[in-house]
Amino acid sequence: MEKKCPMCESEGTISKIKTNETFKIKGEDIEVEYEAFKCNKCGEQFIDSTPDNDPFNIAYRKYRKIHNMLQAEDIKEIRKKYGITQTELSRLLGVGGATLSRYENGALQDKAHDTQLKLISDPRNMLKIVHENAELFGEVRIKSLTSNLEKIVKDEYPIERCLEEMYGSSERTIFTGFQPLDINKLLNSILFFCKEGLLKTKINKYLFYADFKHFKDYTLSITGATYAHLPLGPVPNNYEIYLSFFVNEGYLTIEEVYYSDPNIVGEKYISREKSILSDFSDSEIKVLSTIKEFFKNYSATDISKYSHEEKAYLETDEQDVISYEYAKFLKI
């Protein structure tokens, strides 16, 4: 290859080689491989520092991948998708405009900023944040921005949006555990519980105990679901609709369970995808794990009887919506 050596300025043949180097990124050793050139006359090595071959850039990309962080192009794509400028987005997130620009051009982002950016990668979250910070935008601009975001939400989450609007509650009341219904957390809670398969009765009780246990300990539910008093115990309102939707969308599969009585057939729901635990806080993951472990050896009949002994069930009538005020009496 004819290329001039930047060290000895020789215009002789330069060899292309592969080389490895280890970089210390936030205290962690990251080893990368990249292309370099070697001068056959002076023996020195040098690189053409293009973005794709910049060893620091390669190391940052590898670090982001290891730690499940957004890449620079992901950050840029989020902003462009919403039609928001760097200045507007930086104000919205409370970061400097120059900082956001550096992130989009390959600088390694702060972990807290990465979490914020992941949060707004869901247009539903972005729309909520924009509404809450409308004062950062002019009247004309806020209308344009929210209109675009609402269209994106409807395009990307048509059925989920419909479920939330028809059956969910956007209010934060004692009947929702002071949380609006979160379809995403409801789905991922079910996926977490159904990894090895779970009968419908147990799913409903796991959800009830998880939401009420979290409210008991932290004064907030996990999913924002409302629960009703039915013969087999407390269940989420509209649970049949949610489970059918998750099956139809391919998140769950159903396996029939046969009992000694040939006239009785149960349905076991099995997760087809992994639960996205990053959607939950540490306290929510702790409670979900606690409930799954506590009831793992209970049959559907056992857990149903157990729930019948809860004050939340004893002091309400059939079809009543159950207040989260009863969480303080929960047996777990």
The DSSP code sequence of 90-138 is HHHHT--HHHHHHHHTTPPPPHHHHHHHHHHTSHHHHHHHHHHTGGGS-
The fraction of the chain above a pLDDT of 70, given in percent, is 89
> Using 50, 70 and 90 to split pLDDT, how confident is the model at 264?
low
Q: How far is CA 322 from CA 33, 129, 152, 160, 232, in A?
A: 59, 30, 35, 24, 14
Residue 86 has pLDDT above 80, yes or no: yes
pLDDT number for residue 331: 95
pLDDT number for residue 210: 98
> Using 50, 70 and 90 to split pLDDT, how confident is the model at 271?
very high
Lowest-confidence pick of 1-15, 198-212, 293-307: 1-15
Could you give phi then psi for residue 36, rounded to 5 degrees? -140, 175
> Using 50, 70 and 90 to split pLDDT, how confident is the model at 279?
confident
pLDDT number for residue 3: 67
Instruction: Record the pTM.
Output: 0.54
Mean pLDDT for the chain?
A: 87
Residue 1 has pLDDT above 60, yes or no: no
Q: Is 59 helix (H, G, I), strand (E, B) or coil?
A: helix
Pairwise CA distance, residues 255 & 302, whole Å: 21
Q: What is the DSSP string of 170-202?
A: -S--TTTTSS---HHHHHHHHHHHTTT-EEHHH
Lowest-confidence pick of 87-91, 114-118, 161-165, 202-206: 161-165
> Using 50, 70 and 90 to split pLDDT, how confident is the model at 249?
confident
Q: How far is CA 313 from CA 25, 217, 303, in A?
A: 54, 19, 13
